[in-house]
């Protein structure tokens, strides 16, 4: 392997630096640092997606769901406890219902094993299904009672009052757990099915978080969320955000280092072998589905952590704020534009796309105003009142167009994956 | 008896409505899948696009329907179907065909279709805004009430005009699709290409024609489904992600690449949804007095709340992928 | 004028050349047979003729008209038909629908050609309403050849028509090929059963490593001791 000076990378990163400095010059330090922190959080998400899509060819269309899970954990663990809930008998009630739930699951699981006692399989399936429905209805009924009670008396259960980083870790773990469940089902099948299933689970996670008022306050949102670092109230915006930025930078560096090691380790080689030629990898005795599951879960964990970091930073947990566009497709553009499978390219893509994204908002508004001014002048258009919200929809179009253009003209991204050659 | 009427109104009719919509969407998805071998994520947005075109046309000509006594939107639907079909072919030429020419993996096509999804969403919302609008602009929705010939039934079975239109349309569409696929030369060529694309090419079948025909069918059915859904409720630009999952679930349940399976799958998913959100306590109420004392009948016996409706197609999807990934009718692609 | 003439054909998949200069020529109404060891490029040559892979050098002519690198669906219009070795039917279509796909480009000939094909392959008439995927191997091969014949080709390309068939069916297929040829159709086929194939061949081409090793009449090749020793198993 010959080492060449990475001119392409140097030029691109220099360009990125210029862009960042330009934003600093235009928008001021506080705004720009906030943008950089958010870009860094997105970089974690993008790294999660790049190992799924770039390393292993798995397409996760539900990044939003994993981000929301991470955000939920960050909220649940870090927000102060709610005495109106804990000082009543409600925690006990809730615990009782959760025990019912565990017992119900155990019973249904037991029913699926009834055939070992000599009961015919069809009868067993029938018993298991009926039992599952009945117990489900019973548990849901009990659950509704308790949660209604919590909502009316305490608002919501509040947080656990633990340090923020605990929430981040659990956010990663929870996202990984859901990822494991999805991966187990879909990874042996056509790659399209994974995309469909992840898209679905993301909407379900969002629906759950939005409607479980007792747990998340739903549309009422929870804020403020504490930061893992001293907040802006103590240090001022710029310094506090800079410290937050350094935390996320450390996280990225750690992930980057670990991924770098893994990529060149036998494990990474195996992953790429599976991506490039599944059949021959299987023929060499690799356990394909297990490796695939590992990489998928790992990606989901990163998304959970990134989502937690992003939500903590925004200091508000709003389930409705998680949008497919902002949290799935934006990340997708970052990965495919930056270079799927290339960590450096992915980080580059994340920062670049985020700058464009943030800057496109004022741009879209001004363009829209100009266009409607023209339209009114030429065709006598009647412009509705929701002009600004419509202008932002133009960004949806641009993201879609960007995806199409990159796929067609730069399918390997700006900084393509370097496949090591051994000869 | 009123409980039965309630059941018919809330499950039989509403399940048929939902099922018909899903079936029409799923046919398109499954046809695209069988000819081009990728999951077309922009399909739900093609539905929205079709409905949007109807909305535009109806705004332009709000009174054409009055001439023949049908809703204007319905009268203008064929034009919108043609326009959507044209748009579908155009989208294919512009965004999918170049990728196909490079022989990319199906999953890259999926991502490309997500790009198209976003473009369509962006355009539609740019022009139509994000709020929901009724397609009945100059008219009023007719509602038909049928009385049951029983003394005990004091309530009526309620069917709205767009629902009747929908039922008629679906039957016509399914029958003509069946005739097209089984009788016409082009339809047979389509099945041939879904069976064995290389051999189809070697037989002199022009794949570009077949691809275009597939998009025309998928696009016009999507436009019809979107419009009929919007007639029944209202035109909502942001419906797509909630339609996509049930439609894919329907296509997979029916066996991907299997148009008749897609129809069955659509009704399976549609009825599963309505049955799951139906409050079964209503049906048990007449027997309340004969139930044992200790059994306290809860007022709400729905399996899931309406806010979790989307869980139902997902659950069906997961169940079918776990137990029978080829679908109930043995689809072609796993 | 030769029905098919290929001179110095080079080509292969993804930059890897499999054909390194193949020459071939068959006259109208002749049966040409390509034999040779595995990996010699026999099927590849057939695909190159039918425009299914890129020919990088050399020329192929059909009745004097250059057809190098012409797309398969255009070649069908010029009177060529191709039966792949595998996946050569539409499994979910009925037998008759399979045959109908053969006349896709000339629907007006459907009835007439259908009768002819049923004459050639009587079992297909009985099974015409069955999905082709449900038939036995030999009958599937008949469907595949029948579909190709529906085009009314002047040249029929067959890739190992007897692969995987029992000896009984094998003989039947060879008989059919002779009948088809007698009806005026030129045939170029790749065969593993070299002896039987050469016995019905007017021209034989022995390929090895993507080049002609021997080119002669079928009979001459059968009687050539060197060919027999190296390629026909003694």
User: Are C87 and B203 a contacting pair at CB < 8 A?
Assistant: no
Contacts of B129 in chain A (CB under 8 A): 384, 386, 389-390
Residue A5 has pLDDT above 80, yes or no: no
Strands B156-160 and B143-147: antiparallel
CATH number at residue B307: 1.10.3470
Q: How far apart are CA A131 and CA A134, in angstroms?
A: 5
Strands C16-26 and C155-159: unpaired
User: Are C107 and B203 a contacting pair at CB < 8 A?
Assistant: no
User: Are B131 and A386 a contacting pair at CB < 8 A?
Assistant: yes
B83-106 burial code (b ≥16 CB/10 A, e <16) = bbbebbbebbeebbeebbeeebeb
Q: Which of C90, C134, C145 best tests the B interface by mutation, with the highest count of B CBs <10 A?
A: C90
Q: Is A330 exposed, middle or buried (0-12, 13-18, 19+ CB in 10 A)?
A: buried
**Residue B266 located in a structural domain:** yes
| DSSP state letter for A357 | H
Residue B203 has its nearest CB partner, among C76, C87, C107, at C76
**Residue B333 located in a structural domain:** no
Tokens of A40: 């860094």
* pLDDT value of position B331: 59
* pLDDT value of position B6: 82
Q: Helices B161-183 and B207-232, interaxial angle, to 10°?
A: 170
pTM of the full structure: 0.89
Query: Higher-confidence residue: A281 or B40?
Result: B40
| Tens-place pLDDT, residues A257-267 | 998 888 888 88
Q: How far apart are CA B305 and CA A211, in angstroms?
A: 10
| Tens-place pLDDT, residues A89-109 | 888 888 999 999 999 999 999
Strands C80-83 and C155-159: parallel
Identify whether B14 is preceded by a cis peptide bond (ω within 30 of 0): no
Q: How far apart are CA B193 and CA B35, in angstroms?
A: 6
DSSP string, B112-178: HHHHHHHHHHHHHHHHH-SS-B-S-SSS---EEEEE-S-SS--SEEEEEHHHHHHHHHHHHHHHHHH
Question: Nearest-CA distance from B39 to chain C in Å?
Answer: 22
- What total number of domains does chain B contain? 1
Domain boundaries, chain C: 4-79+153-231, 86-137
Residue B204 has its nearest CB partner, among C52, C91, C105, at C105
**Residue B160 located in a structural domain:** yes
| DSSP state letter for A158 | B
Question: Nearest-CA distance from A172 to chain B in Å?
Answer: 23
Residue B122 has its nearest CB partner, among A191, A386, A393, at A393
Ranges of residues in chain C whose predicted pLDDT is under 50: 234
For residue C94, give Cα distances in angstroms to A175, B188, C120, C165, C173. Answer: 49, 10, 18, 22, 21
In the block, which residue shows the tokens 């894919």?
B248
Within an 8 Å CB–CB cutoff, is residue B205 touching chain C?
yes
Note whether B2 and B224 are within 8 A (CB).
Answer: no
pLDDT band with cut points at 50, 70 and 90 for residue A423: very low
A142-179 burial code (b ≥16 CB/10 A, e <16) = bbeebbebbbeebebbbbeeeebbbbbbbbbbbbbebb
> CB count, 10 Å around CB of B279?
16
Residue C147 has its nearest CB partner, among B185, B203, B206, at B203
Mean pLDDT of chain A: 86
Q: How far apart are CA B82 and CA B50, in angstroms?
A: 9
| DSSP state letter for B102 | T
* pLDDT value of position A422: 52
pLDDT in tens, chain B (334 residues): 777 888 888 889 999 999 999 999 999 999 999 999 899 999 999 999 999 999 999 988 888 878 887 888 888 999 999 999 999 999 999 999 999 988 888 889 999 999 999 999 988 888 887 778 888 877 777 788 877 777 666 778 888 888 999 999 999 999 999 999 999 999 999 999 999 998 998 888 888 999 999 999 999 999 999 999 998 888 888 777 788 999 999 999 988 888 889 999 999 999 999 999 888 877 777 776 776 666 666 667 778 888 888 889 998 988 888 888 888 776 555 4
Within an 8 Å CB–CB cutoff, is residue B201 touching chain C?
yes
**Alpha-helix residue ranges (DSSP H) falling in A187-236:** 191-211, 213-216, 232-235
Strands C186-190 and C155-159: parallel
Question: Nearest-CA distance from C110 to chain B in Å?
Answer: 11
Average pLDDT over residues A103-131: 87
> Has domain C4-79+153-231 been given CATH number 3.40.50.2300?
no
Sequence-distant (6+) residues with CB within 8 A of A241 are A30, A33, A34, A37, A232
Residue B202 has its nearest CB partner, among C82, C98, C100, at C82
CB pairs under 8 A between A and B: 152
* pLDDT value of position B334: 45
Chains meeting B at 3+ CB pairs closer than 8 A?
A, C
Q: Helices A237-264 and A288-314, interaxial angle, to 10°?
A: 170
Using CA coordinates, name the residue in chain C closest to B203: C102
* pLDDT winner (highest mean) among A15-24, A269-278, B140-149, B213-222: B213-222
Note whether C148 and C103 are within 8 A (CB).
Answer: no
Contacts of B301 in chain A (CB under 8 A): 137
pLDDT band with cut points at 50, 70 and 90 for residue A1: very low
Question: Nearest-CA distance from B226 to chain A in Å?
Answer: 20
User: Are B195 and C101 a contacting pair at CB < 8 A?
Assistant: no
Contacts of A204 in chain B (CB under 8 A): 308, 310-311, 314
* pLDDT value of position A185: 87
Within an 8 Å CB–CB cutoff, is residue B138 touching chain A?
no
Find, among C66, C47, C68, the residue nearest to C57 by Cα.
C68
Note whether C57 and C9 are within 8 A (CB).
Answer: yes
Q: How far apart are CA B188 and CA C58, in angstroms?
A: 38
**Residue B331 located in a structural domain:** no
B224-259 burial code (b ≥16 CB/10 A, e <16) = bbbbbbbbbeebbbebbbebbbbbbbbbbbbbbbbb
Note whether A78 and A222 are within 8 A (CB).
Answer: no
Contacts of C48 in chain B (CB under 8 A): none
CB pairs under 8 A between B and C: 66
**Alpha-helix residue ranges (DSSP H) falling in C55-109:** 72-77, 95-102
User: Are B202 and C91 a contacting pair at CB < 8 A?
Assistant: no
> CB count, 10 Å around CB of B196?
21
Within an 8 Å CB–CB cutoff, is residue B192 touching chain C?
yes
In the block, which residue shows the tokens 């906030």?
A34
Contacts of C102 in chain B (CB under 8 A): 203
Mean pLDDT of chain C: 88
User: Are B205 and C101 a contacting pair at CB < 8 A?
Assistant: yes
Within an 8 Å CB–CB cutoff, is residue B200 touching chain C?
yes
* pLDDT value of position C195: 84
Q: How far apart are CA A324 and CA B225, in angstroms?
A: 24
Using CA coordinates, name the residue in chain B closest to A395: B122
- Secondary structure of A122-152 in the HEC alphabet? HHHHHHHHHHHHHHHHHHHHHHHHHHHHHHH
User: Are A197 and B317 a contacting pair at CB < 8 A?
Assistant: yes
Note whether B190 and B181 are within 8 A (CB).
Answer: yes
Q: Estimate to the nearest angstrom the gap between the alpha carbon of C110 and the chain centroid.
A: 22
Query: Higher-confidence residue: A279 or A351?
Result: A351
Q: How far apart are CA A190 and CA A78, in angstroms?
A: 39
Query: Higher-confidence residue: C123 or A366?
Result: C123
| Tens-place pLDDT, residues A240-257 | 899 999 999 999 999 999
User: Are B202 and C72 a contacting pair at CB < 8 A?
Assistant: yes
| Tens-place pLDDT, residues C148-158 | 999 889 999 99
Find, among C186, C133, C131, the residue nearest to C158 by Cα.
C186
Residue C84 has its nearest CB partner, among B191, B199, B205, at B199
Question: Nearest-CA distance from C156 to chain B in Å?
Answer: 12
User: Are B188 and C97 a contacting pair at CB < 8 A?
Assistant: yes
Judged by 3 or more CB pairs under 8 A, whether C touches B is: yes
Strands C211-217 and C203-208: antiparallel
Within an 8 Å CB–CB cutoff, is residue B129 touching chain A?
yes
Residue B84: which domain range?
2-289+298-323
Question: Nearest-CA distance from B113 to chain A in Å?
Answer: 8
Contacts of B334 in chain A (CB under 8 A): 189-190
Sequence-distant (6+) residues with CB within 8 A of C96 are C114, C128, C129
User: Are A192 and B120 a contacting pair at CB < 8 A?
Assistant: no
A-proximal residues of B, 228-247, CB under 8 Å? 241-242, 244-245
Q: Estimate to the nearest angstrom the gap between the alpha carbon of B123 and the chain centroid.
A: 22
């Amino acid at each position: 392997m010959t080492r060449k000076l990475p001119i392409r990378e140097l030029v691109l990163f220099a360009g990125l630096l210029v862009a960042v400095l330009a934003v600093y010059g235009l928008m001021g330090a506080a705004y720009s640092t906030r943008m950089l922190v958010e870009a860094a959080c997105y970089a974690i998400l993008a790294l999660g997606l790049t190992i799924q899509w770039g390393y292993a060819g798995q397409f996760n269309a539900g990044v939003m769901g994993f981000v929301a899970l991470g955000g939920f954990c960050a909220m649940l663990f870090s927000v102060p406890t709610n005495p109106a809930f804990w000082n009543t008998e409600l925690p006990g009630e809730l615990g009782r219902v959760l025990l019912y739930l565990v017992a119900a699951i155990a019973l249904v699981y037991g029913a699926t094993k009834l055939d070992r006692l000599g009961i015919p399989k069809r009868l067993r399936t029938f018993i298991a299904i009926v039992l599952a429905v009945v117990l489900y209805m019973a548990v849901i009924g009990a659950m509704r009672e308790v949660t209604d009670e919590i909502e009316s008396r305490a608002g919501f259960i509040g947080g656990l009052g633990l340090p923020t980083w605990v929430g981040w870790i659990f956010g990663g773990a929870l996202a990984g757990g859901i990822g494991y469940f999805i991966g187990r089902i879909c990874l042996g099948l056509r790659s399209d099915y994974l995309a469909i299933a992840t898209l679905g689970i993301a909407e379900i996670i969002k629906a759950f978080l939005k409607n479980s008022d007792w747990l998340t306050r739903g549309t009422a949102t929870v804020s403020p969320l504490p930061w893992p670092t001293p907040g802006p109230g103590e240090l001022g915006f710029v310094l506090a955000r800079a410290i937050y930025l350094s935390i996320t930078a450390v996280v990225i560096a750690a992930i980057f280092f670990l991924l770098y090691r893994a990529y060149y380790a036998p494990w990474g080689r195996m992953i790429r072998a599976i991506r490039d030629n599944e059949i021959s990898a299987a023929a060499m005795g690799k356990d394909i589905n297990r490796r695939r599951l590992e990489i998928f879960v790992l990606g989901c964990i990163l998304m959970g952590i990134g989502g937690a970091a992003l939500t903590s930073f925004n200091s508000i947990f709003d389930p409705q704020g998680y949008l497919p566009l902002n949290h799935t497709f934006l990340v997708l553009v970052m990965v495919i534009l930056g270079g799927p499978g290339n960590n450096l390219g992915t980080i580059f893509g994340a920062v670049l796309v985020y700058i464009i994204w943030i800057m496109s908002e004022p741009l879209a508004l001004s363009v829209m105003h100009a266009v409607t001014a023209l339209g009114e002048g030429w065709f006598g258009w009647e412009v509705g009142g929701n002009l600004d919200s419509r202008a932002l929809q133009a960004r949806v179009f641009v993201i879609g167009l960007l995806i199409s253009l990159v796929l067609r003209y730069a399918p390997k991204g700006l900084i393509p994956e370097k496949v090591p050659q051994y000869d | 008896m009123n409980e039965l009427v309630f059941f018919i109104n809330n499950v039989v009719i509403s399940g048929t409505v939902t099922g018909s919509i899903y079936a029409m969407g799923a046919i398109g998805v499954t046809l695209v899948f069988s000819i081009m071998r990728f999951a077309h994520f922009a399909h739900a947005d093609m539905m929205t696009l079709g409905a949007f075109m109807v909305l535009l046309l109806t705004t332009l000509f709000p009174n054409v329907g009055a001439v023949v006594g049908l809703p204007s939107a319905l009268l203008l639907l064929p034009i919108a179907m043609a326009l959507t079909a044209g748009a579908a072919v155009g989208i294919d030429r512009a965004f999918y065909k170049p990728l196909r020419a490079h022989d990319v993996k199906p999953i890259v096509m999926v991502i490309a279709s997500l790009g198209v999804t976003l473009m369509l969403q962006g355009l539609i919302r740019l022009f139509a805004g994000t709020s929901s609008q009724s397609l009945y602009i100059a008219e009023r929705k007719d509602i038909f009430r049928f009385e049951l010939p029983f003394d005990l039934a004091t309530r009526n079975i309620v069917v709205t005009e767009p629902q009747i239109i929908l039922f008629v349309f679906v039957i016509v569409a399914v029958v003509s699709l069946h005739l097209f696929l089984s009788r016409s030369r082009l339809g047979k060529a389509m099945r041939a290409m879904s069976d064995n694309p290389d051999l189809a090419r070697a037989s002199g079948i022009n794949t570009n024609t077949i691809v275009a025909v597939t998009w025309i069918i998928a696009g016009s059915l999507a436009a019809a489904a979107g419009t009929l859904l919007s007639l029944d409720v209202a035109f909502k630009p942001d419906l797509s992600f909630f339609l996509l999952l049930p439609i894919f679930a329907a296509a997979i349940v029916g066996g991907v690449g299997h148009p008749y399976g897609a129809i069955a799958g659509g009704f399976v998913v549609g009825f599963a949804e309505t049955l799951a959100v139906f409050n079964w306590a209503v049906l048990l109420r007449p027997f309340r007095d004969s139930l044992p004392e200790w059994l306290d009948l809860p007022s709400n016996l729905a399996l899931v709340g309406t806010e979790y409706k989307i869980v139902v197609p997902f659950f069906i999807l997961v169940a079918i992928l776990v137990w029978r990934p080829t679908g109930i009718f043995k689809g072609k692609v796993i | 004028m030769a029905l098919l003439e290929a001179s110095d054909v080079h080509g292969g998949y993804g930059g890897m050349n499999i054909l390194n200069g193949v020459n071939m020529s068959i006259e109208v109404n002749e049966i040409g047979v390509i034999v040779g060891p595995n990996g010699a490029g026999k099927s590849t040559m057939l695909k190159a003729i039918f425009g299914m892979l890129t020919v990088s050098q050399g020329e192929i002519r059909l009745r004097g008209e250059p057809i190098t690198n012409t797309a398969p669906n255009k070649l069908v219009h010029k009177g060529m038909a191709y039966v792949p070795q595998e996946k050569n039917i539409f499994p979910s279509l009925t037998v008759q629908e399979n045959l109908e796909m053969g006349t896709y480009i000339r629907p007006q000939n459907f009835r007439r050609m259908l009768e002819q094909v049923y004459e050639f392959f009587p079992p297909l008439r009985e099974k015409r309403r069955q999905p082709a995927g449900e038939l036995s191997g030999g009958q599937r091969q008949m469907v595949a050849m029948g579909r190709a014949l529906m085009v009314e080709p002047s040249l029929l390309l067959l890739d190992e028509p007897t692969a995987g068939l029992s000896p009984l069916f094998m003989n039947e297929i060879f008989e059919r090929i002779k009948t088809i040829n007698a009806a005026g159709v030129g045939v170029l086929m790749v065969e593993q059963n070299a002896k039987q194939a050469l016995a019905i061949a007017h021209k034989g081409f022995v390929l090895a490593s993507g080049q002609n090793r021997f080119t002669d009449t079928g009979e001459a090749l059968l009687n050539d001791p060197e060919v027999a020793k190296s390629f026909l198993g003694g």
